[in-house]
Structure 1
Amino acid sequence: MESKLIISKRFEISEIDPRIYGSFIEHMGRAVYEGIYQPGHPSANEQGFRQDVIELVKELNIPLIRYPGGNFLSGYNWEDGVGPKEQRPKRLDLAWRSLETNEVGMHEFANWIELIDSQINMAVNLGTRGIDEARNLVEYCNFEGGTYWSEQRKQHGQEKPFGIKTWCLGNEMDGPWQIGHKTADEYGRLAEEAGKAMKLVDDSIELVLCGSSSSHMPTFGDWELTVLDHAYDQIDYLSLHQYYGNPDDDLENYLARSLDMEEFIQGVVAICDSVKAKKHSKKQINLSFDEWNIWYHSNEHDEQVKPWQVAPPLLEDHYNFEDALLLGCLLITLLKHSDRVKIACLAQLVNVIAPIMTEAEGKAWRQTIFYPFMHVSNYGRGTVLTPIIDAPTYKTKDFDAVPYLETIAVLNKEKNEVIIFAVNRGKETMKFSVETTDFAIKKIIEFTEMTDFDIKETNTADKERVKPKYSDRYEVTDGGLSIELAPLSWNMIRCEL
């Protein structure tokens, strides 16, 4: 099987916004408690944060983390998570039917964010709360001082503002499962007025409006048109959420799911631009794909979890090798649309459908999906080049023409490198040629592949089997490349120009 990628410096999709490599921490399951925060654990620092988790998070080089939810957000009072810990109330979390101790709140999370060298993508509750609470939170976090909420922040130990720049206006408000679920008109009006008040407090912030919680919602399309019609002038991004799974155990169809993500993005872009045209606006709304991942392994287990526990094990998917391959395809899809997808959040980061898992009394360890995300987040920095791809295709029950090759190239001008990410969806070795039209490849710096595993192979705390290795199956030819992509493989090729 043969395939070709043609790239040119003259044809660019977009400069990559680093926030496309964001992630997500929600107060649910063991994401916060026993995830990032566990006083008494052998690795815990003096603040109670697990240092072993911090080190793994740093490997992923994540610039932005969405917080504090998720479905949890729609019943959350942010005031419960500030002030002396001993005075904070314990609350029922109705979203996940758990107990929330509020040991970790705004200040603690901000401290953790500083430890991992990231930024907060803060979310405001527009389910059970509204305009007043949202603008108060912006004042608490971002106003210099001399007002009620900014002085409260100082009394709680934070003299300087947190300076949070990216804010989400609620979570999945289109979903009937959501506490405070609203119609599109109800949410659109509330988001418009909340956003207006928030920007009056701090006009430097950027706002994310809730789009559909999946492309398969019965209200998809109509929801976007309505909420954008209300809030277009106040907001900067529209959100998308989508999760993928392989419950039918159909590998070929599963690895094609990135085509569904691509169709979703294209559809939402079209809707945003139609509202722009209707309003005769010069403002472009970009996208925040602020929940995406693979989620299906843990569904049966979660049905058995007893309610009203602190940090019960929820959504603890144990990922296998085929999940890593699909995640690679999804990352490439996001990069292909980096002209409009400026923010994306892998949901989530620790324990809950996550690349990092922890044992309460033991180790933190890397799941199979850790590595494709680590490769792209660390090396996919710069400008995405428009790919011209020639590859054979196959047909599945849901998709008519699935390319065996999924690939994209990123030009890092500062380092004088081109980085190629590629997935071979096929079960045969692929002869992959890279042709450059206006620059030459001098040498391969690194060719890393994940391949030759059983598709159901997983990692554990004691056995990290599914991980990358180096390949030497390449040749630099006339300034281009001739590469062998192994069957069912994730590949990263770093090239010096």
Structure 2
Amino acid sequence: MQRAEVADDPLGRESPLRVRVALDSERVVGDIDRRLFGGFVEHMGRGVYGGIYAPGHPSADERGFRRDVIDLVRELGVTTVRYPGGNFVSGFHWEDSVGPRELRPTRLNLAWHSSETNEVGIHEFAEWLSEVDAELMLAVNLGTRGTREAIEFLEYVNISAPTRLSQWRSENGRAEPFGVKMWCLGNEMDGPWQLGQRTPEDYGILAAQTAKAMRQVDPDLELVACGSSHAAMPTFGEWEKVVLTHTYDDVDYLSCHAYYEPEPDDRASFLGSAVNMDRFIDAVVATADHVKAVRGSSKTIAVSFDEWNVWYSSRLPEQLPRAADDWPLAPPLSEEDYTVTDGVVVGDLLMSLLRHADRVRSASLAQIVNVIAPIAAPDNGPAWRKATFHPFALTARHARGRSLDVVIDTPGHHTAVHGDTPFVSVAATHDPGRGGAVFLVNRHESAAAEVTVELSGALAVLVVAEAVTLHDPDLDAQNSAVFPDRVSPRPNRSVRQQPGALSVQLPPVSWTMVRLVDAEADEG
């Protein structure tokens, strides 16, 4: 289905907002770690079985991997993938997922009340990652298991010395170590839904003990301690302080998780979700730096925002099987029909991560295929892109180099959930010698925004190579198997450039990218 381009004068239903932005290539937030554009795959619903792996599908290769999904994941541009959970990891026995498939046991997936055949395990998932050109990030089970199992898992995965476990890996078809550098010490251990939920004191002691042991196996690991499951947890803040008091010397990252969904009749607050993410990151950083000061440490803890997305989680309970004897394989769970509004919010959340690139060094969009995902992979047809796919793919491709400090003058309003919320959100990047990008969101539901961007330093000599906008007059428009391109970016022809500045018009509820390049070299 063809979509019209954004007109030179996109119409809002009110007088346009007037916004001014100042960008200077010398005002730098921090270097952008490519792991900021990571993803997350959990053994939940049809994320693995039916999504990544579906031997009976017409697109499946000889290993059972869906080639149509592989192509879209490569286009999405995820750089790392956190695996195998998520809540699933707190009941995971890694030994079940290796060895001959016919000998692997079927287990109960208690996190999602389903069956787990272990048909896809560590070896198979690593093979799939090599196809999508992404790095493996593993989580260890500190819910129902502990330090011993974690170091044995690490030995199996990473050690080349001729030990029993490394030889077992070789017998299972992988002579060379997997070389996994980044490891999560459990998952959401503060959550009452988590197998093995712990107090911050108990978890901090266990995480520190496990981290020390893992570093005895491989001292060069990057380790992630569990932060709060979300900022509304009753122990938020205190959890971070206590956990880091125990683990500060032993870990490199503290995790953040956040999911957003609209409240009934409150689209305005939903559109301001990135304001909450900004505040969440700032609070975690402040707590980590408080512990640093108290300890007199020279080390700085980074943030791994390793679960984030729009998720209509309130719908999940009615989708979960309930009967004690009902444990289906890969039941459909949280296969969200994302709207253009959801796509704009996802783009805005990713902009929040960019604005905190000095401290957020890793992040994982949760998840990738079918479950809470930008990619739909139906059993009886080809995979297709949901509305949330496009902002992530374009940002992952073009946000390179350094994140810039944005000075912005924009009107705003008061929202029920987030309080004072700016109408226009901006993030910007600059890659010296290559170019830059400006990402803009108009959160207003009915008014367009006229934005003037002043460009200083090396940005002043760049020229606009491309401008695209994700927008639809129907704020609930979504893609489908029948119309997979109903919601997609299209050229924004409103951009005007003059020496040291550019202007662009943003339709209501829209996400826009303006790409800048050297006048003599457009790298595409």
Q: Shorter-chain TM-score category?
A: over 0.9
Describe how 1:90-489 pairs up with structure 2 within 5 A: 90-296=106-312, 298-299=315-316, 301-303=318-320, 307-415=326-434, 417-426=435-444, 427-439=446-458, 440-464=460-484, 465-489=486-510
8 Å CA contact 1:423, 1:488 repeated in 2: yes
| Residue identity matched to 1:388 | V
Q: Is the 8 A contact 2:385 2:479 kept in 1?
A: yes
Distance 1:400 1:85 in 2: 53
TM-score using structure 2 length: 0.93
3-state SS of 1:132 partner? helix
Assess if the C-alpha contact under 8 Å between 2:263 and 2:270 holds in 1: no
Whole-Å separation in 1 of the counterparts to 2:252 and 2:155: 20
1:441·1:476 contact (CA, 8 Å) conserved in 2?
no
Length-normalised TM-score, structure 1: 0.98
Q: Displacement, 1:438?
A: 2.1
Separation in 2, partners of 1:61, 1:243: 21
Residue of structure 2 in register with 1:39 after alignment: 55
Counterpart contact for 1:305–1:312, Cα < 8 Å: no
Q: Partners of 2:347 and 2:228 in 1: how far apart?
A: 24
The count of aligned residue pairs is: 496
Amino acid at match of 1:371: H
CA-to-aligned-CA distance 1:262-289 (integer Å, 9 cap, x gap) = 1111100011001111111111000001
Are the counterparts in 2 of residues 247 and 296 from structure 1 also a CA contact under 8 Å? no
Shift of 1:469: 0.5
In structure 2, distance between residues paired with 1:442 and 1:373: 24
Among 78, 97, 106, the alignment partner of 1:62 is 78
Contact 1:441–1:480 under 8 Å retained in 2: no
Compute the RMSD of aligned alpha carbons.
1.2
Structure 1 position 60, deviation (Å): 1.1
Cα distance in 1 between the residues matched to 2:490 and 2:461: 22
- Deviation, structure 1 residue 250: 1.3
- Following superposition, the deviation at residue 300 of structure 1 comes to 5.9
One-letter amino acid of the counterpart of residue 159, structure 1: A
- Residue-by-residue CA offset, 1:97-148 (whole Å, 9 max, x unaligned): 1000000001000000101111111000000100111001111111013111
Residue 462 of structure 1, CA deviation: 1.5
Contact 2:340 2:472 in 1 (8 A): no
Q: In structure 1, the residue corresponding to 2:228 is in which secondary structure?
A: coil
Q: Which residue of 2 aligns with 1:8?
A: 24
CA distance in 2, matches of 1:462, 1:144: 50
Identity of aligned residues (%): 46
Residues 321, 327 of structure 2: 8 Å contact kept: no
The structure showing larger relative contact order (alpha-carbon pairs under 8 Å, at least 6 residues apart) is 2
* CA offset digits 1:288-310 (Å, max 9, x no partner): 01111111164364256764000
Gaps of 5+ in 1: none
CA–CA distance in 2 between the matches of 1:135 and 1:349?
Answer: 28
Gaps spanning 5+ residues in structure 2: where? 1-16, 519-524
Paired AA for residue 365 in structure 1: W
CA distance in 2, matches of 1:420, 1:37: 37
Distance, in Å, in 1 between the alignment partners of 2:142 and 2:316 is 27
Q: Which stretch of the first structure deviates more once superposed, 73-82 or 476-485?
A: 476-485
8 Å CA contact retained: 2:449, 2:506: yes
CA contact 1:192–1:231 (8 Å) conserved in 2: yes
- Deviations along 1:385-434, one digit per CA (max 9) or x if unpaired, are 1100011111111233211110111002242x120000111222211111
Give the drift of 1:353: 0.4
* Cα separation, 2, equivalents of 1:59 and 1:488: 25
Q: Report the equivalent of 2:521.
A: none
Find the aligned partners of 2:98 and 2:517 in 1 and give their Cα distance.
Answer: 49
Q: Comparing 456-465 with 206-215, which one deviates more in the overlay? A: 456-465
